[in-house]
Amino acid sequence: MRCAAAGAKGNPLSPILLFRSSSSNSSIRIVSRRFMMSGTGSGGGGDAKTALQEMSTDGEFKRTESSFRHWISNQEGAQFPALAGRYHLYISYACPWASRCYAFLKLKGLEDAIGLTVVKPKWERTKEGEDHFGWVFPVSEDEEPGAQLDPINGARTVRELYEIASSNYSAKYTVPVLWDKQKKTIVNNESAEITRMFNNVFNHIAKHPEVDLYPEELRSKIDEVNGWVYHAINNGVYRCGFATKQKPYEEAAKELFDALDRCEKILANQRYMCGNRLTESDIRLFVTLIRFDEVYVVHFKCNKKMLREYPNLFNYTKDIYQVPGIAETVNMYHIKKHYYGSHPSINPYGIIPVGPNIDFSTPHDRERFKSAF
C-alpha cells in the first residue's frame, strides 16, 4: 500500500467524476465540467494515474497494486544487499502507508543507516504543460516546515524519481519510495514489503535489533488481523471518502464501523491487537486512527462515531503515539494540509478545519494490561 499522487486534467478545482469504461476493464475515464479525457497509462497501476482515478463503474474506490517490488537481502550476491548508507526513504508525513515505514525506521533504530526525505504535504503540478498534480519537494530549505530538498537526486518531484528509475514508467507516482543510491533506481514502493525489510533484513546494523514487529509465533495472527484491518479500516476510510455513489459509500462505512467496533472489543481485553506484544498490526492500525478525528471524520464522511467515542481505541492510539520515536512520525500540520488541500473534488476550496487538535500525549489507561514490548 502507498499514497498516490492525484490530479485531474483541466482545472484542478473543477468537480470531477471518474468512471471505468464499460467497453474495457482497463480504461479509466475522467469527466469534468470542461471536457472528457480517457486515461492512457499502463504498467503496475493499470490505467490509473491518480488515486482519484481508481474507480469502478459502480462508484467504488479500488486501489491498484504497487509497481516496484524488489527485495533487499543478506544473501551473498544479492542484487540489493543490506548495506548501511546505500538506501534512502522518501515519504510524506500525510500518507499513512509512508508514515508506517518511517515508524519502522524509528522503532528499529535505522536512522543512521537509511536516509530520509519528506515531501511537501500538498500536491502540486508535477510537469509544466501537464495537469498532473502530485508529491513535490520544496524549492528551498525554508519553504515548507518539515519538508526537505531531495539530497540524492536533486529531484523537484516524486514523479522525477520514477522517471529516473524507469524511462517508460506510466503508472502512479506514489510514496513511500525506497531508493537505491548505487543503482539509482527504486527498490520498492510497497509499504507492506518495505516495513518487513526494515523489520529484519537490517538487524546487523540496527540500533534495536531486538525489536521484532513480525515475530514467528504471531505471524498467522498478524496476517489475519492485517487482512480485515486493511480492507475495512486502512483502505476503508478511502473507500468512504473516494466513493462517487451512495451505495458503495454506505457499504464501506458499515464495514469500517463494524471493524472499529471489533477492535474496541479486542482492546478491552488486551493491550495490543495480537496480544500483549506490539506488532506491525498495531502500527498499521495506528496510522489510520491517528488521522481519524482530524481528517477522516470530516473529509471522508466517516462521521458515524469519532475515535474519541471509543474508550479503548482512543487510549490505545495514545499508547502507541507515546512509544519512543512514534510521535516524530506524526506531523498533523502536514496531514491536514494534504487531505484538505489536495482533493479538490471533495473539498474544492481547500478550507482546513481549525480543530479538533487532539493531544495524544495525555495519559492513557493501557498500562493495566501486561506488555512484552
Looking at residue 361, its amino acid is S
Are 284 and 230 contacting, i.e. CB atoms less than 8 angstroms apart?
yes
Q: What is the dihedral of CA 53, 54, 60, 64, to 10 degrees?
A: -170
Compute the distance between CA of residue 162 and CA of residue 169 in angstroms, rounded to an integer: 7
Instruction: Read off the DSSP letter of residue 328.
Output: G
Residue 56 has φ and ψ, to the nearest 5°, of -100, 175
Distances (CA, A) of 191 to 40, 47, 274, 280: 26, 21, 20, 12
Q: Is the peptide bond before 356 cis (omega within 30 degrees of 0)?
A: yes
The neighbouring-strand residues paired with 177 are 90
273 Cβ neighbours under 8 A, 6+ residues apart: 225, 229, 263, 266, 267, 279, 281, 282, 285
Give me Rg for the CA atoms of the chain.
Answer: 20
List C-alpha distances in Å: 179 to 90, 190, 223.
8, 12, 27
Contact 232, 258 (CB under 8 A): yes
- Please say if 238 is a catalytic residue: yes
* C-alpha cell, 240: 468512504
Candidates 3, 87, 95, 162; catalytic one: 95
Q: Pick the catalytic residue: 90, 238, 310, 316?
A: 238
| CA atoms of 318 and 102, how far apart (whole Å) | 18
Helix pair angle (311-321, 246-266), 10° resolution: 80
Nearest to 39 by CA among 23, 19, 58: 19
Which residues form the catalytic set?
A: 95, 238
